[in-house]
Amino acid sequence: MSEHDLDKLKAALKAAPPAPDSAAKAAHMAAAMAAFDDEAEKTATAAQGSASGPRPTPESRQKGWLWTGVQTMLDKLTTKAGLAATTGIVAAGLAAVVILPQMGEQGAMQPGNSVEKTAVAEPTIAGDIVSPESEEAEAAAPQAPKVTAAPEPMAEVAIDDAVASKPTVRHSLSTGKKPTQNNERSLSSESTHGLLKPSNPPVGATLPTPDQDRFAPPPADTEAFPEAATNPVKVVSEEPVSTFSIDVDTASYSVVRSSLNAGRMPPADAVRIEEMVNYFPYGYPAPTADDPAPFKPTVTVGDTPWNDGTKLVTIALQGELPVVEDRPPLNLVFLIDSSGSMNQPNKLPLLKQSLRLMLPELRPEDEVAIVAYAGSSGLVLEPTPAGERSTILTALDRISAGGGTAGEAGLQQAYSVAEQMTGEGEISRVLLATDGDFNVGLSGADAMKTYIKGKRDSGTYLSVLGFGRGNLNDATMQALAQNGNGQAAYIDTLSEARKVLVDQLTGALFPIASDVKIQVEFNPAQIAEYRLIGYETRALKREDFNNDKVDAGDIGAGHSVTALYEVTPVGSPAVLNAPLRYAAGDAPQPTAESSPELGFLKMRWKEPGESVSELLEVPIMGDMAEATDDTRFATAIAAFGQLLKDSDYIGDYSYEDAIALANSAKGDDPFGYRAEAVQSMRLAESLSQ
């Protein structure tokens, strides 16, 4: 074939070709055979230039991987050596020409693809079927000298079946790789948009296109929250004693806020009123050196805003805040969930940013270790002084999400590392950061609870930080934190991370009182009925109060705890239960004159590390301290929680009423937490209509 014939062929390919017929195919076949028999063509020296054609351009990338592969193949077919290589390749090129009219303007070749400059010493386009005649001819043909070229590396790229000479044959562009006999198609390892570069994808694997995720259905909502029935109204003459464990967790409030900010009402089980109330810092009176306990109780009695016939008894505990320099050294193990479910911006990336905020708050003598767990657990950072921040941050940055969730293996390794770090007089704590999606190992909350119970006596506490929504396993997180003598918090923003890990770090990591229990006995001469607002998941049996083997919540340095009882005085029209016919016995009943107390408050706690509890008792009088802005704001939040749970005991009280009460009791709000709560109330009001 002459140079003139090649120019004519190139011009024909540039133009919109007519539909081929049998005569055209025969003519092309004859031309190819003539070129094959031409000795001069077989021994021609390869021209200079790139054997792989031009580099992809933005325009070619926009046309897509399919046309890029077809166009590259056609460029190679128009070279002299390419035409002479094998008749099977020519047939594949003719099949490609058949579909060119369907490509429209994509059929035009890129300018600058000179035929003379793209000669290839050995064919790099392989068909899956080669005739025996062509194999013999190729073996007998003299070999052209090899050209040292620097083509861009490409993994195997499948060409659409329409290009193939048979529907079941896949043709491929490769760098010397043999074609595969497979009907499936796979994408190039270099995405046309530069977004995905997998290496050596499995044969037959189908990788997602850049736009595929846009149409994928959202992941199923698998969130789990502890289920507990709302505390009922109790009759004092029948059940005068109420017992519960204190709770300083704050996760529920953050989950509620996250839901409202996302434009939806939170699940009822996600609303734990005690955690909403205890989310906020309060200025309750702190203990002094003369107080027998590391916390000070304050009791107030006031009117209930949602029920004219009842009273609110507020029990507030304020923990002491020791000087930071006086606290013992801290051994902290970050146990980081790096499973595939954490691969979202509000999970692992936010987790890393949160821990970055925390590091400057640690003292140089504190130590940090990092354990990550996914398909298997691993020690990412050996115990390292907190002052070596660059080393810690480098290790933190190395963690990426992927794999299953081996929660059991991660916990075991984290506890082992913490035990090795612990010295006399030091505090060790495992800080678990996760979305709570434990799906490998001890996957049940009960199994995790049992394991943590077996470890907490060693002196290593466990706190839990939750991240992300959609698969948040709050039930498991609560079980871990409650049984690990630690705190559970949910972090949905960097501001929340700062609150938990910077502003309240000392309280979160350093306990001042362990196994704190509260028991209230109400006086039947004064109070007819009572109802504990919240603390459903922290209820204890009456006999548990004096049993030091029964676990309860801890108070950290500077923590405050608030509990509210709605009580109904004897003779009030708000009494809900009619008196029983046979309730009165022969024993004399106390009268209001002989017993002016509304009730009697008892508190038990242990010094950290001790096994025997201590007791503190305070009578509850009707003329206790008056309500303050702190107690009134706590009341507004309690009303907010009851409205979210659609409580039967809130009457006609509305979001508007709760908003008005909160605004009037915001007081000093240096961090804006109370103002933010009002905004959440307004969102809930709008979403509830």
Tokens at 444, concatenated: 């049940």
pTM for the model stands at 0.68
284: helix, coil or strand? coil
pLDDT level of residue 535 (50, 70, 90 thresholds): very high
Q: What is the pLDDT of residue 422?
A: 87
Q: What is the pLDDT of residue 187?
A: 32
Predicted confidence (pLDDT) at residue 110 exceeds the cutoff of 60: no
Q: What is the pLDDT of residue 470?
A: 86
- Residue with the larger pLDDT of the pair 431 and 426: 431
* pLDDT tens by residue, 185-239: 333 333 333 333 333 333 333 333 333 333 334 455 788 898 999 999 999 999 9
Predicted confidence (pLDDT) at residue 586 exceeds the cutoff of 70: no
Q: Which of 19-23, 215-219, 322-326, 562-566 has the lowest mean pLDDT?
A: 215-219
- Residue with the larger pLDDT of the pair 587 and 334: 334
Q: Which of 211-225, 289-303, 516-530, 633-647 has the lowest mean pLDDT?
A: 211-225
Q: What is the pLDDT of residue 131?
A: 42
* pLDDT tens by residue, 79-105: 444 444 444 444 444 444 444 444 444
Q: What is the pLDDT of residue 22?
A: 65
Contact 244, 537 (CB under 8 A): no
Predicted confidence (pLDDT) at residue 537 exceeds the cutoff of 80: yes
Q: What is the pLDDT of residue 60?
A: 43
- Residue with the larger pLDDT of the pair 583 and 479: 479
d(CA 525, CA 591): 5
Tokens at 472, concatenated: 């948040």
Query: Which whole number is the average pLDDT over 560-588?
Result: 86
* pLDDT tens by residue, 67-86: 444 454 545 444 444 444 44
pLDDT level of residue 318 (50, 70, 90 thresholds): very high
One-character DSSP codes across 470-524: SS-BHHHHHHHHHHTT--EEEE-SHHHHHIIIIITHHHHH-EEEEEEEEEEEE-T
**Left, alpha or beta for 64 (phi > 0: left; psi -120 to 50: alpha)?**
left
Q: What is the pLDDT of residue 683?
A: 98
Q: What is the pLDDT of residue 123?
A: 38
pLDDT level of residue 118 (50, 70, 90 thresholds): very low
Q: What is the pLDDT of residue 40?
A: 44
By DSSP bridging, strand 157-158 and strand 172-173 are antiparallel
Query: Which whole number is the average pLDDT over 545-570?
Result: 95
* pLDDT tens by residue, 622-635: 887 778 999 999 99
Domain spans in the chain, listed from the N-terminal domain onward: 3-215, 234-322+512-576+589-687, 328-489
d(CA 265, CA 644): 8
Predicted confidence (pLDDT) at residue 686 exceeds the cutoff of 70: yes
Q: What is the pLDDT of residue 126?
A: 36
Q: Quick one: how many helices (H) and strands (E) in the chain?
A: 20, 19
Percent of the chain with pLDDT over 90: 49
Contact 490, 251 (CB under 8 A): yes
Q: What is the pLDDT of residue 167?
A: 39
Q: What is the pLDDT of residue 521?
A: 98
- Residue with the larger pLDDT of the pair 346 and 479: 346
Q: What is the pLDDT of residue 114?
A: 39
Q: What is the pLDDT of residue 496?
A: 96
* pLDDT tens by residue, 149-194: 333 433 333 333 333 333 333 333 333 333 434 333 333 333 333 3
Predicted confidence (pLDDT) at residue 608 exceeds the cutoff of 80: yes
* pLDDT tens by residue, 488-515: 999 999 999 999 999 988 888 888 999 9
d(CA 517, CA 400): 41
Tokens at 479, concatenated: 């079980």
Burial of residue 548 (CB within 10 Å: 0-12, 13-18, 19+) is: middle
One-character DSSP codes across 390-437: HHHHHHHHT----S--BHHHHHHHHHHHHHHH--TT-EEEEEEEE-S-
Predicted confidence (pLDDT) at residue 640 exceeds the cutoff of 60: yes
Predicted confidence (pLDDT) at residue 4 exceeds the cutoff of 90: no
Round the average pLDDT of the chain to a whole number and report it.
Answer: 76
d(CA 684, CA 265): 7
* pLDDT tens by residue, 24-68: 666 766 776 666 555 444 444 444 444 444 444 444 444 444 444
Phi, psi of 140 (to 5 degrees): -80, -20
- Residue with the larger pLDDT of the pair 415 and 107: 415
Contact 517, 246 (CB under 8 A): yes
d(CA 220, CA 184): 29
One-character DSSP codes across 649-661: TSTT--HHHHHHH
Sign of CA dihedral 206, 209, 215, 219: positive
pLDDT level of residue 404 (50, 70, 90 thresholds): confident
Q: What is the pLDDT of residue 590?
A: 63
Expressed in angstroms, the distance from the first to the final Cα of the chain is 82
Predicted confidence (pLDDT) at residue 375 exceeds the cutoff of 80: no
Give the best-scoring range by mean pLDDT among 50-59, 365-374, 559-568, 606-615. Answer: 559-568
Q: What contacts 476, CB < 8 A, 6 or more positions away? A: 224, 436, 438, 445, 448
CATH class of the domain whose range is 328-489 = alpha beta
Q: What is the pLDDT of residue 321?
A: 86
- State the Rg of the chain over Cα: 37
pLDDT level of residue 451 (50, 70, 90 thresholds): confident
pLDDT level of residue 595 (50, 70, 90 thresholds): confident
* Amino acid at the residue 632: R
Query: Which whole number is the average pLDDT over 364-368?
Result: 93
Q: ∠168-171-176 over CA atoms, to 5°?
A: 140
Residues β-bridged to residue 605: 614
Q: ∠666-688-263 over CA atoms, to 5°?
A: 85
Predicted confidence (pLDDT) at residue 124 exceeds the cutoff of 60: no
> Considering the domain 234-322+512-576+589-687 in this protein, what is its CATH number?
2.60.40.1230
